[in-house]
């Protein structure tokens, strides 16, 4: 493939958009071996690591060589890494070796269960990590089904010494490259199977939609076990051949201004995150720290994976406008791990589009209507125009009929980036990944579970909510049943019944997306609430944050039989949420509980 | 705004936790461990950054483990602020 003296810019561009990512890395290690690909920054923004294209290739080769000795093609390989560059070589090393990479969040003592369930689900027997952490992970898996995991410390491997190969790898583009476990609850994890072809296509789509090239410097802090961090911050850079500056999520959350300083310092073109990232950065704005900084080179401020709020965009523009930030820099995006990452954005260089809808019609009837009165207006932000490679259909989720333009329905997607299903779950895979529109059997679609509409006037996808009762918090998807399990478990640990009904859901208050849990009391809980309510509430909140790392914002106790249930006794979360939003749920007052 | 006393630091932390959890700061016991409030891990990290800005010292996140209550952390942070001021 590269057995020639050089390649034209057209050839390089086509090759990077067509080859598997590991081959693009080999190509770039040959073309620009000494160019810095990644710089990693520590807690105070100091440089703690860096990799050139050639160095990354050598490290990946070492990982691939080690995997060749210890596993077989197609084996699932768990990746347990803290934020940092070791993850990158482990992930791409798996791709090179034709092993299926499974990136996951680190297990903690409280949260080992999620990792164990994923390991069981995908049947992995080998895990990669850092020598300093492996013993700790072994200890947290002790006594579990993951106890006999074989571990390789990739930081201890000697980087490969050979030159990059000059012929393309024999990889089948339809083979699974990695599993993305961001869907599914703890008890029922779902690993999206993404092929080499899906991955290459999605990186190319992002590159083309965003008009990126090898000079498009990026600054990212997203966790690598999430789709945005994995694709935008780690794999896309290899494809476009740029320099990317990375830092840990906690570094950003602790000092958001550091992120802004880095964007200015590195004259970065691309940086972004979920909506909350722009909120906390505005909150922490410091004129002193901004002195002399210029943000005018920042071309794309990606905002995706959570609900985008007009007020967030306005406030950020007000704060950073005087420093060269332009409102048209915001690039609102839509996508999901089931389709690698990216589906729609832009057009680049234009301000985000808004649609004003009636909040009651939307919340209660799922319809996008013009506001009936000024105070009923809710502004939705357009999540961009679908890539030319993506077809969006708005479908009635019950009848599976295509809905006319402008009506709200489930968002269905046809795209070459749709994964081939959930690992080991053919039934659910068929339902979600191979849906067919009534009266049109020519194409298959991904059912996103998102409700939305496409505005025929501006081609934008507007996302209005979820069909599934998913809870979205700070860009993460949480399953209500996991939160409910923690709430009921905490009450049971206090001696209450372990069969109390609980409904957990998201509710919007002002600009905040709150996590609410409603618990139906029985006689014993009612009595105990009267005596020691603060203690009980604290125990519940503590359990939710320890299990899931999120704050429970509202905890309501409701009288016996006030919970809406189906005839089979299942809690009707959606209905409880509607009642809550409509102000129709009244929690027991402390005095009432005493009565 | 800067925080000039142990009490001011305590009140600032309690206010923050109250805002994050939608509870009244009066319900917050200064001698309870941070872990008992049920704050998200992100809220904890945000608090450290805010305190760094307000007090003007670099805070190692492990300081929370050795000073796990509002009372003890505020005291420790105030000491750090004072010794910082003496040195500079």
**CATH code of the domain covering residue B23:** 1.10.1200.10
Residues 2-31 of A with CB under 8 A from B: none
- Write phi, then psi, for A105 (nearest 5 degrees): -70, 155
Cβ contact A543:A504 at 8 Å: no
Cβ contact A277:A306 at 8 Å: no
Between chains, do A253 and B53 touch, taking CB under 8 Å as contact?
A: no
Q: Of the candidates A253, A540, A549, which has its C-beta nearest B49's C-beta?
A: A253
| Cβ contacts of A564 within 8 Å, gap of 6 or more | A571, A572, A575, A576, A579
Amino acid B83: pLDDT: 84
Between chains, do B52 and A255 touch, taking CB under 8 Å as contact?
A: yes
Amino acid B87: pLDDT: 60
Q: Of the candidates B27, B38, B46, which has its C-beta nearest A544's C-beta?
A: B38
Between chains, do B40 and A542 touch, taking CB under 8 Å as contact?
A: no
Q: To the nearest 5 percent, what fractions of chain A are helix, strand and coil?
A: 40, 25, 40
A512 near B CB under 8 A: no
Between chains, do B46 and A254 touch, taking CB under 8 Å as contact?
A: yes
Range of the domain at B53: 6-87
**Which DSSP symbol is given to A33?**
T
Flag whether A174 is in a domain.
Answer: yes
Between chains, do A554 and B22 touch, taking CB under 8 Å as contact?
A: yes
Between chains, do A545 and B42 touch, taking CB under 8 Å as contact?
A: no
CA distance, residue B7 to nearest chain A CA (Å) = 23
CA distance, residue A53 to nearest chain B CA (Å) = 33
Between chains, do B36 and A514 touch, taking CB under 8 Å as contact?
A: no
Q: Which tokens hold the place of A73?
A: 């093609």
Please state the ipTM of this predicted complex: 0.83
Rounded CA gap, B37 and B18, in Å?
9
Q: Of the candidates B27, B35, B38, which has its C-beta nearest A551's C-beta?
A: B38
A contact test, residue of B17, B27, B41 with most A CBs within 10 A: B41
Q: Of the candidates A280, A514, A543, which has its C-beta nearest B46's C-beta?
A: A280
Q: Looking at A193, A208, A243, which one is the last position of a domain?
A: A243
Residues 254-313 of A with CB under 8 A from B: 254-256, 280, 284, 286
Q: Looking at A243, A259, A286, which one is the last position of a domain?
A: A243
Domain containing residue A204: CATH number: 3.40.50.12780
Residues of A in contact with B22 (CB under 8 A): 514, 553-554
The CB density around residue A348, as the number of other CB atoms within 10 Å, is 15
Between chains, do A554 and B38 touch, taking CB under 8 Å as contact?
A: no
B contact test, residue of A286, A512, A551, A555 with most B CBs within 10 A: A551
CA distance, residue B9 to nearest chain A CA (Å) = 18
CA distance, residue B42 to nearest chain A CA (Å) = 7
CA distance, residue B77 to nearest chain A CA (Å) = 17
Flag whether A101 is in a domain.
Answer: yes
B44 near A CB under 8 A: no
B contact test, residue of A43, A83, A226, A253 with most B CBs within 10 A: A253
CA distance, residue B80 to nearest chain A CA (Å) = 18
Amino acid A595: pLDDT: 41
Residues 398-427 of A with CB under 8 A from B: none
Q: Looking at A243, A267, A282, which one is the last position of a domain?
A: A243
Rounded CA gap, B59 and B52, in Å?
6
Flag whether A125 is in a domain.
Answer: yes
Rounded CA gap, A382 and A396, in Å?
21
Q: Of the candidates B20, B45, B52, which has its C-beta nearest A551's C-beta?
A: B20
Residues of B in contact with A554 (CB under 8 A): 22
A-B CB pairs within 8 A amount to 60
Sequence-ordered strand ranges (E) for A185-277: 189-195, 218-220, 244-247, 270-273
Flag whether B1 is in a domain.
Answer: no
Flag whether A389 is in a domain.
Answer: no
Number of domains observed in the structure of chain A:
2
B contact test, residue of A254, A478, A486, A549 with most B CBs within 10 A: A254
Between chains, do B43 and A538 touch, taking CB under 8 Å as contact?
A: no
Closest CA to A223 of A214, A213, A233, A215: A233
Written as tens digits, the pLDDT of chain A (595 aa) is 677 888 999 999 999 999 999 999 999 999 999 999 999 999 989 999 999 999 999 999 999 999 999 999 999 999 999 999 999 999 999 999 999 999 999 887 667 888 999 999 999 999 999 999 999 999 999 999 999 999 999 999 999 888 888 888 889 999 999 999 977 777 788 999 999 999 999 999 999 999 999 999 999 999 999 999 999 999 999 999 999 999 999 999 999 999 999 999 999 999 999 998 999 999 999 999 999 999 999 999 999 988 898 989 999 999 999 999 999 999 999 999 999 999 999 999 999 999 999 888 887 777 888 999 998 888 999 999 999 999 999 999 989 999 988 889 999 999 999 999 999 999 999 999 999 999 988 899 999 999 999 999 999 999 987 776 778 777 777 888 888 988 998 998 999 988 889 999 988 877 778 899 999 999 899 999 998 998 899 999 988 988 888 889 999 999 888 898 877 677 888 888 888 988 888 888 765 544 4
Flag whether B71 is in a domain.
Answer: yes
Flag whether A129 is in a domain.
Answer: yes
Cβ contact B80:B51 at 8 Å: no
B19 near A CB under 8 A: no
Residues B22-32 have pLDDT tens digits of: 778 888 889 98
Flag whether A300 is in a domain.
Answer: no
- Element housing A142 (H / E): none
Residue of B nearest to A256 (CA): B49
Cβ contact A267:A241 at 8 Å: no
Amino acid B64: pLDDT: 83
Q: What is the 3-state secondary structure (H, E, C) of A514-575?
A: EEEEEEECCHHHHHHHHHHHHHHHHHHHHHHHHHHCCCCCEEEEECCCCCCECCCCCECHHH
Rounded CA gap, A62 and A266, in Å?
31
Number of domains observed in the structure of chain B:
1
Mutual angle of helices A275-283 and A310-320, in 10-degree steps: 40
Between chains, do A253 and B46 touch, taking CB under 8 Å as contact?
A: yes
Range of the domain at A200: 9-243
B37 near A CB under 8 A: yes
């Amino acid at each position: 493939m590269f057995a020639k003296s050089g390649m034209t810019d057209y050839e390089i561009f086509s090759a990077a958009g067509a080859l598997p990512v590991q081959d693009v890395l080999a190509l770039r290690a040959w073309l620009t071996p000494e160019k810095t690909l990644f710089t990693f920054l520590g807690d105070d923004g100091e440089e703690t690591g860096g990799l050139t294209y050639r160095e990354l290739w050598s490290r990946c080769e070492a990982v691939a060589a080690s995997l060749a000795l210890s596993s077989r093609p197609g084996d699932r390989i768990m990746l347990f890494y803290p934020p940092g560059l070791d993850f990158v070589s482990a992930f791409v090393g798996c791709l090179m070796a034709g092993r299926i990479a499974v990136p996951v969040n680190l297990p903690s003592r409280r949260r080992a269960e999620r990792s164990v369930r994923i390991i069981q689900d995908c049947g992995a027997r080998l895990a990669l990590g850092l020598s300093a952490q492996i013993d700790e992970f072994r200890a947290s898996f002790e006594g579990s089904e993951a106890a006999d995991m074989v571990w390789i410390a990739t930081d201890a491997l000697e980087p490969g010494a050979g030159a990059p190969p000059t012929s393309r790898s024999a990889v089948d583009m339809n083979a699974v490259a990695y599993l993305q476990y961001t869907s599914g609850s703890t008890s029922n994890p779902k690993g999206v199977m993404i092929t080499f072809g899906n991955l290459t296509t999605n990186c190319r789509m992002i590159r083309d939609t965003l008009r990126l090239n090898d000079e498009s410097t990026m600054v990212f802090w997203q966790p690598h076990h999430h789709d945005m961090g994995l694709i935008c911050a780690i794999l896309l850079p290899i494809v476009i051949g740029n320099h990317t500056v990375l830092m840990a999520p906690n570094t950003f959350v602790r000092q958001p201004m550091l992120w802004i300083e880095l964007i200015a310092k590195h004259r970065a073109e691309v940086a972004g995150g979920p909506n909350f990232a722009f909120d906390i950065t505005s909150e922490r704005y410091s004129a002193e720290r901004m002195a002399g900084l210029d943000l005018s080179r920042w071309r794309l401020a990606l905002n995706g994976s959570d609900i985008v709020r007009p007020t967030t965009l306005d406030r950020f523009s007000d704060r950073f406008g005087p420093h060269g930030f332009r409102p048209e820099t915001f690039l609102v995006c839509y996508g999901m791990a089931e389709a690698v990452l990216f589906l729609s954005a832009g057009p680049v260089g234009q301000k985000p589009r808004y649609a004003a809808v009636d909040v009651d019609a939307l919340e209660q009837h799922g319809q996008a209507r013009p506001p009936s009165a000024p105070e009923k207006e809710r502004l939705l932000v357009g999540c961009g125009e679908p890539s030319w490679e993506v077809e969006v259909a708005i479908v009635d989720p019950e009848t599976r009929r295509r809905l006319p333009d402008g009506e709200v329905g489930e968002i269905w997607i046809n795209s070459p980036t749709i994964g081939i299903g959930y690992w080991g779950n053919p039934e659910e895979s068929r339902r979600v990944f191979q849906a067919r529109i009534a009266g049109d059997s020519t194409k298959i679609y991904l059912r996103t579970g998102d409700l939305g509409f496409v505005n025929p006037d501006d081609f934008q996808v507007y996302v209005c909510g979820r069909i599934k009762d998913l809870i979205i918090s700070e860009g993460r998807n949480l399953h209500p049943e996991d939160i409910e399990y923690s709430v009921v478990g905490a009450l049971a640990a206090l001696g209450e019944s372990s069969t109390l009904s609980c409904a957990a859901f998201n509710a919007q208050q002002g600009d905040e997306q709150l996590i609410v849990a409603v618990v139906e009391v029985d006689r014993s809980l009612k009595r105990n609430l009267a005596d020691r309510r603060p203690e009980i509430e604290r125990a519940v909140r503590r359990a939710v944050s320890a299990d899931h790392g999120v704050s429970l914002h509202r905890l309501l106790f409701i009288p016996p039989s006030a919970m809406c249930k189906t005839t089979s006794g299942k809690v009707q979360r959606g209905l409880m949420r509607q009642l809550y939003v409509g102000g129709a749920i009244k929690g027991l007052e402390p005095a009432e509980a005493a009565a | 705004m800067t925080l000039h006393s142990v009490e001011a630091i305590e009140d600032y932390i309690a206010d923050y936790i109250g805002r994050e959890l939608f509870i009244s700061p009066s319900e917050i016991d200064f001698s309870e461990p941070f872990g008992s409030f049920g704050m998200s891990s992100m809220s904890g990290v945000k608090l450290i950054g805010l305190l760094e800005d307000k007090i003007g010292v670099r805070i190692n996140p492990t300081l929370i483990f050795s000073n796990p209550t509002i009372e003890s952390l505020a005291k420790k942070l105030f000491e750090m602020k004072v010794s910082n001021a003496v040195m500079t």
